Structure 1
Amino acid sequence: MYSTIAFTLESGKQHGYRRGILQLKRPDGTVLEVKTPGFVTATSRGVVSHLTQRLCEQTEAVRWIHATFESLYVATRPFPASWRSYSQACDPDIVFALTDTPFTPPPFSQKRSVKSVERSLAWLSDLLRSDTSEYTHPTNVFVQMAGGVEHDARAAFADGLTSRLYDKEADMVRPLQTLDEGVAGYSFDLAPLRATLSGDRLTGRLYDKIPAHLVPEVLHPWDLTQYTGDLADLVRTSLSALPEQKPRLVNSCTGPHEILQLIQSAGVDLFDAAWAQRAADIGIALDFQFPVPQQYRDHVAASGDDDAAGENDGARQAGIPIGYNLYNFQYAHDFRPLTDHPFPSAARSPVAPSTVILHSSIDSGEVGESPSPFSRAYIHHLLHTHEMSAHALLLTHNLSVLDAFFNGVRELLGSPGVCDQVIGDEIAIFSRVYDASSSLFNVSAKCWAEVELARGKGRLAREKAKELLS
């Protein structure tokens, strides 16, 4: 017995806005649901970074998580030939088929592209291989669409999924007639595609957990949606020949602007939350809404079409940042909550303990009122004193902001009588009001690196090295 997946599209089309529900049923009767468009929380070895199990349960935004197959103690990497046995042993709700992604510097030769497509199809076929044991083949397989930035290669991979199998290939995956029949969903990793398009392997690197000493001294801002149009074209090429009833997951988005464009032009259903989680790592508290609140729409009317999207060192500046850098000393005496928006998070709505530890006979045993929201000044203090709780509070806040953002998207898509023009206008307003450059992340990453080097692990060794040099 294993988990089963059902994806129901309430509305939508092949390459446009889609709204639905992804439901997973486990053998023990547990039912998990994610409304789409929605997001999946990333983990480190199955644990959401910074969050304890209790805090993770209190964070309503954490519904589904993605766990990488790795071990803290064993450095051996899994081989494709062993991937099927690993997936059988772990029995996950969903398993991702391995894909041959070139990681050498671009451009790639035609021979390498063909090899990538053929290998990826062969590895998927091996994962779907049936045998005589009780375990036949996994039904909850997501396949990462191969082909790189070549449209012909991506179309060839999609054709390989839907082509009818014969002879030995058909016998291997019997009773499936095509590989796509054994696939539950499609996934896209934008990071290698964006790096190939830009020609720079470091593009977007600040979304990775890189050591503080590797953060560059000078970080030039860039437009986070610079390659979104090209990426959407690649996604559409992969999906053109595939059924629209299966969910689509995209990893490595750069922010809400790219998410909205992929929902609008490629019909993507699920996104990972790695960028929002990385924002919490470097001291950013997200603060944006969709649809844009009325008080911010005045910014669009006042700025005009020509000024709403200016140029600044190659990055598009749209005005209002999508969050704020709490390392900045301007928040040292700012006692406002992280946001005025009424959504639940550990930072916005702290939970009072159910019991109180009494240290003396004169202590009161009564539980008081719920504590007030944590202020920006308090988290600013925690960040500069290198307290782990700062990132835990920021993470619950950021995931809650992202959850509210997707709620707004779904409500708009489900509004009676809403048309493509109205949805497109709302996305255009969002793109013009909120800044789509990397400036916020650049500054925050540098501030985080300074505090990390001053107070983080290895501080004494670094200070000793400086003394020897001076």
Structure 2
Amino acid sequence: MPSGLQFTLAHSDHAAQFGPRLGTLILRRPNGCEITLDTPTLLTSTSRGVVSHLSRDHVRQSSAIRWVHVPFETFLEQSPPVPTLQTGPHPLHRFLGFVPQDHILSTSVRDPDDVRQMPPNGPNYLAANSLRGVRKITPNEWRTYTDKIQPDFVIALTDTPHTPPPFSQKRLTKSIERSSAWLASLLSPVVSAVTPTASTDLTATDLSQAPTNASDIAATKPAVLVHLAGAASHPARSAFAAALLEPLSDIERASIGGLPTLDAGVAGYTIDLAPLRIAISSSPVSPPASSDINPSTNITSSLSALLQTSLTRLPRTKLRLIYGTLGPHDALHLLRDVGTDVLNASWALHAAHVGVSLDFVFPAPTRDTSPTIEGDSAALQPLGRNLYAPQYALDFAGLSTSGNTCECAACAPHMPDTRIVHGSDASEEADAYVRARRAASASADQANDGGDDDSSANLRNPSYTRAYLHHLLHTHEMSAHALLALHNLAVAEAFLQGVRTVLASSGGVDRFANEVARFEAYYAEESLTVGAPREEGEKGGIMAEARAMWAQVELARGKGRLAREKERAVAGGTEAEP
């Protein structure tokens, strides 16, 4: 683990290999800046380095976005990839507009949530899905790119099959061998210069771009994370974990900087649930006879069993990242049964994309005293609201249920401390208007609170209402999805804050198990991820309803609207709307 990275488990039960974990991740930059994250924490996914629906100002405004993951395959349409041309410190942060003092960046070649079928990987390359088709990336190229862009965490190349399952034993053996070899390539020590060899697949341009100063590279070398390979096979997953811990020969140790094992060079482990779910659904999985893991018939329990097989022998003090959770219920099951430190919340952004405003808390509220989304307090409550629905057209309440505090930009919009100048607009009238609004807001807050604080917190405006978001959605306004994305990410972060609070309390582990059961009894479980496989017998909920209404609005207001209106007008004998 790099000297600037520190991860410690704070939970009293350090002996348990599995179960809920409470920890602290500290990243210290060379300039003395320090980023501290309490775990379990949230990871935000991106497309080409952009958080869906959000501008850079939105990202900087959101306290929920601290760790950002960047799939690199979307930059491979150019050679060399454009981010590798960025110079100066923190190249990837600067290229994508993230703040090194506030944001942790991780990168992998493939998008962990992308389960589209791909051509098979080769012995010396990984197939990646760029904007201009499939590209092949070699271990040497991946190392050169990551040394150049300097993310905080880099995920080693892993031979995950993206062909139709099930996979043969021969294919799984290849996957384990290739993944181990590619990890060793990434862990090899920094050299003073990049010299072309017979095995190097880089172009002359790539070689000229590579760093040549070993000390400069070593000072900014990212922490390495490894994906736990083995697909849906317990023996294969156990074999890969054993390969990470196997003592290396003298020659092998010399090739990776003297490390005794491959595991000694990694800072943590990652698990991609999306391809694993497909592998499980294609062939039932049962643990080996010697395992103490209980067999299960559903996908969630099968996932937990497979992850436990991979992690049984590995040190529990290293980071665990899980991509591909389907919603808060799925996240709670993994936190309880396996134990993880970082979870992505793509489901929060998927919900925002189809007009769903999330509204849930952990621990779950009591039924007797808390307001509910559904009228029947005894019924299972949905995880949010479909704001496309007509009942919200005149609903002027905020996005959160009364009593649930949310500090996102949609629920607690703030006036800027200074006027935002556009172009040459510098009129005294505009300045006077901003000063008057700020003074009026501060006076109102002082009168209500009895305080004399005149900070920017007093510049808070009323919450955006459900009716306003309903209007924006039906008029196909982009700002609707931006506000919902900010809100849903804040709800997801508050959810994990609730998990941390419960674990830090007296009897945290036992109380956490009880609160998970209460959460399941209060909220209806539903996959919030678009296109996720459903359990047998699972019915559609707010997401299915929202997708249908979103499609109707997209058809009426989206791309190609004028052509469709013209066709209808011709068929009906009337003129199309302008």
Category of TM-score, reference length = shorter chain:
0.7 to 0.9
Aligned to 1:265: 337
Q: Which has the higher contact order (CA 8 A, sep 6+)?
A: 1
Are 2:516 and 1:427 aligned? yes
Are 2:411 and 1:348 aligned? yes
Deviation (angstroms), 1:24: 1.1
Paired with 1:353 and 1:126, the residues of 2 have a C-alpha distance of 48
Are 2:89 and 1:6 aligned? no
Question: Taking structure 1 as reference, are residues 359 and 79 closer, same or farther at Cα in structure 2, changes over 3 Å only?
Answer: same
Question: Taking structure 1 as reference, are residues 158 and 333 closer, same or farther at Cα in structure 2, changes over 3 Å only?
Answer: same
**In structure 2, the residue corresponding to 1:276 is in which secondary structure?**
helix
Which of 145, 161, 164 is equivalent to 1:102? 161
Which deviates the most, 360-369 or 21-30? 360-369
Alignment of 1:365-384 (within 5 A): 366-367=436-437, 368-369=440-441, 370-384=460-474
Which of 143, 155, 165 is equivalent to 2:238? 155
**In structure 2, the residue corresponding to 1:88 is in which secondary structure?**
helix
Assess if the C-alpha contact under 8 Å between 1:139 and 1:183 holds in 2: no
Paired with 1:232 and 1:325, the residues of 2 have a C-alpha distance of 31
Deviation (angstroms), 1:295: 2.9
Are 2:151 and 1:92 aligned? yes
Deviation (angstroms), 1:432: 1.5
Deviation (angstroms), 1:297: 8.8
- Aligned partner letter, 2:491: V
Following TM superposition, the consecutive aligned residue runs of length 4 or more in structure 1 with deviations greater than 6 angstroms are: 296-299, 357-360, 465-470
Unaligned runs of 5+ in 2: 79-131, 193-213, 284-296, 372-377, 420-424, 442-459, 528-540, 573-578
Unaligned runs of 5+ in 1: 201-224, 300-307, 309-317
Aligned to 2:135: 77
Aligned to 1:402: 492
Deviation (angstroms), 1:468: 8.3
Which deviates the most, 37-46 or 389-398? 37-46
Are 2:206 and 1:122 aligned? no
Assess if the C-alpha contact under 8 Å between 1:42 and 1:48 holds in 2: yes
Identity %: 45
Which of 287, 310, 314 is equivalent to 1:242? 314
Paired with 2:266 and 2:257, the residues of 1 have a C-alpha distance of 14
Assess if the C-alpha contact under 8 Å between 1:18 and 1:267 holds in 2: yes
Question: Taking structure 1 as reference, are residues 466 and 156 closer, same or farther at Cα in structure 2, changes over 3 Å only?
Answer: farther
TM-score w.r.t. length of structure 1: 0.85
**In structure 2, the residue corresponding to 1:77 is in which secondary structure?**
strand
Question: Taking structure 1 as reference, are residues 80 and 245 closer, same or farther at Cα in structure 2, changes over 3 Å only?
Answer: same
Aligned to 2:324: 252
Assess if the C-alpha contact under 8 Å between 2:159 and 2:178 holds in 1: yes
Paired with 1:268 and 1:405, the residues of 2 have a C-alpha distance of 15
Paired with 2:322 and 2:558, the residues of 1 have a C-alpha distance of 33
Are 2:350 and 1:278 aligned? yes
RMSD after superposition: 2.6
Question: Taking structure 1 as reference, are residues 252 and 48 closer, same or farther at Cα in structure 2, changes over 3 Å only?
Answer: same
Question: Taking structure 1 as reference, are residues 298 and 286 closer, same or farther at Cα in structure 2, changes over 3 Å only?
Answer: closer
**In structure 2, the residue corresponding to 1:279 is in which secondary structure?**
helix
Assess if the C-alpha contact under 8 Å between 1:146 and 1:154 holds in 2: yes
Which deviates the most, 105-114 or 438-447? 438-447
Deviation (angstroms), 1:125: 0.8
- Aligned partner letter, 1:320: Q
**In structure 2, the residue corresponding to 1:295 is in which secondary structure?**
coil
Question: Taking structure 1 as reference, are residues 327 and 298 closer, same or farther at Cα in structure 2, changes over 3 Å only?
Answer: closer
- Aligned partner letter, 1:366: A
Assess if the C-alpha contact under 8 Å between 1:139 and 1:184 holds in 2: no
Paired with 1:52 and 1:279, the residues of 2 have a C-alpha distance of 18
Assess if the C-alpha contact under 8 Å between 2:45 and 2:70 holds in 1: yes
Paired with 1:411 and 1:256, the residues of 2 have a C-alpha distance of 16
Paired with 1:139 and 1:371, the residues of 2 have a C-alpha distance of 41
Which deviates the most, 456-465 or 112-121? 456-465
Alignment of 1:305-316 (within 5 A): none
Which of 268, 293, 297 is equivalent to 1:185? 268
Which deviates the most, 338-347 or 449-458? 449-458
Are 2:544 and 1:442 aligned? yes
Aligned to 1:393: 483
TM-score w.r.t. length of structure 2: 0.69
Paired with 1:354 and 1:138, the residues of 2 have a C-alpha distance of 38
Which of 67, 71, 74 is equivalent to 1:68? 71
Deviation (angstroms), 1:48: 1.5
Assess if the C-alpha contact under 8 Å between 2:474 and 2:553 holds in 1: yes
Question: Taking structure 1 as reference, are residues 383 and 321 closer, same or farther at Cα in structure 2, changes over 3 Å only?
Answer: same
How many pairs does the alignment contain?
A: 427
**In structure 1, the residue corresponding to 2:318 is in which secondary structure?**
coil
Paired with 1:455 and 1:338, the residues of 2 have a C-alpha distance of 24
Q: Cα deviation per residue 1:186-217 (whole Å; 9 max; x = unaligned)?
A: 000000011122239xxxxxxxxxxxxxxxxx
Q: Greater CA radius of gyration, 1 or 2?
A: 2
Question: Taking structure 1 as reference, are residues 3 and 443 closer, same or farther at Cα in structure 2, changes over 3 Å only?
Answer: farther
Aligned to 1:211: none
Question: Taking structure 1 as reference, are residues 465 and 110 closer, same or farther at Cα in structure 2, changes over 3 Å only?
Answer: farther
Question: Taking structure 1 as reference, are residues 73 and 192 closer, same or farther at Cα in structure 2, changes over 3 Å only?
Answer: closer
Deviation (angstroms), 1:138: 4.2
Deviation (angstroms), 1:254: 0.5
- Aligned partner letter, 2:558: G
**In structure 2, the residue corresponding to 1:18 is in which secondary structure?**
coil
